[in-house]
Amino acid sequence: MSKNYCAEVKDQVIINIIVSDYAWATANLDGDWHDLGGDPLTVGIGYTYDAVNDVFVAPPIEEEE
């Protein structure tokens, strides 16, 4: 059985990722949930959601001095 993942977005930033069916998450949980399908490795906590293009964008990498 394959797993499905959902990301909770607040203020356009992913704050939570769960193992759940998208339909179940949106029906039973508060928040703004987005379907990640079966591969959560393409995003992570702190990624920004671009609603215009329907994509998640990685946070900038901070350079160490």
pTM: 0.85
Q: Per residue in 15-60, pLDDT tens?
A: 999 999 899 999 999 999 999 988 777 899 999 999 999 999 999 8
Distance CA 23, CA 36 (A): 12
Which pLDDT score is estimated for 11? 97
Q: Which amino acid is at 61?
A: I
Going from N- to C-terminal start, the domains of the chain cover 5-57
Q: Residue 6 burial by CB count (10 A; 0-12/13-18/19+): exposed, middle or buried?
A: buried
